Structure 1
């Protein structure tokens, strides 16, 4: 199920982060100074990810992506209040044009509003808060620290959620490579977006997400 996917994906991430921190000697950068913000960020991310995975199983992928790409709009709208960033006309136009482009390419059929559509739309809001909290963390926390808490907390959340019924299905030889690939790709994506947010305003970074 989706919780098990998140569990094994996060386990792969933990292994990579621990190995990288050991090789590059960045363990000293991991601290508890902003733990409450790390926790809030990862709660938002965990909920958003599971809503997204659920939506993928019940509605067409075009609809999922079209709704997911409302996330940059939410970031731009919320950034002035939560990050103190200024919305410029160019940034607003870039976000709007990017979203319109996604709609043109995917041509989603939004005629029926169902549970899957609601889950995908909700995941976009949770992803927006994840980006905003990540931006706040980059002001005081290192990339190693952010990724450490990301993988560890997601692993804990995934374990608790997947194991609530006392049964966690271990991956077989066919699914294991895919789970490893998901874990590696997901961590690399977080590494890139976190570095980008550390360098530039969130309202500049998020519209670039439309290139996906």
Structure 2
């Protein structure tokens, strides 16, 4: 979301790319749930193959389209913390797909912008006005509706995608701090490498819990499934990055919430899930809150740019 607009604006093309990226990411999530449920692959191994095979489209894009590998960096610690937060988010997201209905996990995970707004105050020094705080409160109401505490049906596993959303927000803050000096593909490359290596930490877990033991694919179908998960993740990341280069954040970012629609459809068609009225209502509230937060951030960013050009203009938070 912080990629510089280095290419001419093509908003329609960017919207189509963003929808494609979200659809591919959501389909990948469905495959991850399928691999966990059907073949018993542990979360750590799925993170490994997701990032290992993501190098196929990522390196192809860097060599063919960008015509160079830009791997130099002046912010190794920035990449480290982006990796720690990003891998933590990925682990929680993947684990939630295994433990929860896909539509529930995706809907709760979409609360990331709410936590991003909250954390931007202490970590980025941003000033958040009453409009965005109001959107945050409304967003939390949506989360409460989805989790239904006190109704007798609260699932403690619902805390896992919420933890993923918090780690996602921390990862986005790390990217914001680096994006002024680091090309987007460089950030993606180092994160992919970090996540692949970090997932190896889970290898010994299988000695203590057989459910966490890594396993070799037993045939071409399983290997093809793992290969597809990784290549889909890498290709979707490239599409998303390109979308943000081709149009402004205010145009592209709201379409990230199409994941809720795609998640509901995949959950219903593939896994036989039927989201109840609480999940649908809460999901819509969270989406509306997130879109308004994006809108306000865009308005304020424009005001700050105008103020930089004309210092006499105030920026009202």
Fold equivalence (TM over 0.5): yes
Number of the residue aligned with 1:48: 89
Over the aligned positions, Cα root-mean-square deviation in angstroms equals 3.5
How does 1:133-172 map onto structure 2 within 5 Å?
A: 133-162=174-203, 165=206, 168-171=214-217, 172=219
Q: CA deviation at 1:122?
A: 0.8
Q: Verify the 8 A CA contact 1:51 1:120 in the aligned structure 2.
A: yes
Match of 1:119 in 2: 160
Pairs within 5 Å for 1:68-147: 68-85=109-126, 87=128, 109-110=148-149, 111=151, 112-147=153-188
Query: How many residue pairs are counted as aligned between the two chains?
Result: 208
Structure with larger Rg: 2
Q: Structure 1 residues 119 and 103 mapped into 2: Cα distance closer, same or farther (>3 Å)?
A: closer
Residue 186 of structure 1 corresponds to 233
For 1:205 and 1:113, the matched residues in 2 are separated by 34
Structure 1 distance, partners of 2:105, 2:80, is: 26
SS at match of 1:139: coil
**Aligned counterparts of 1:8 and 1:60: Cα–Cα separation in 2:** 22
Q: Is residue 100–residue 157 contact of structure 2 (8 Å, CA) maintained in 1? A: yes
Q: CA deviation at 1:155?
A: 1.1
**Residue 102 of structure 1: how far off its partner (Å):** 8.9
Flag the 1:97–1:114 CA change in 2: closer, same or farther, 3 A: closer
* TM-score computed with the length of structure 2 as normaliser: 0.54
- Counterpart Cα distance in 2 of 1:197 and 1:145: 15
- Counterparts of 1:151 and 1:69 in 2: how far apart (Å)? 22
Structure 1: give runs of 5+ residues left out of the alignment: none
Secondary structure, in 3 states, of the residue corresponding to 1:174?
A: helix
Q: Is the 2:44–2:203 contact (alpha carbons within 8 Å) kept by the matching residues of 1?
A: yes
SS in 1 for 2:46: helix
Asked if 1:60 is matched to 2:101, the reply is yes
Is the contact between residue 139 and residue 198 of structure 1 (CA under 8 Å) also seen in structure 2? no
Separation of aligned partners in 2, 1:204 and 1:133: 23
In structure 2, the partner of 1:26 is 68
In structure 2, which of residues 246, 254, 258 is the aligned counterpart of residue 211 of structure 1?
Answer: 258
Question: Which runs of no fewer than 5 residues in structure 2 stay unpaired?
Answer: 1-41, 208-212, 260-317
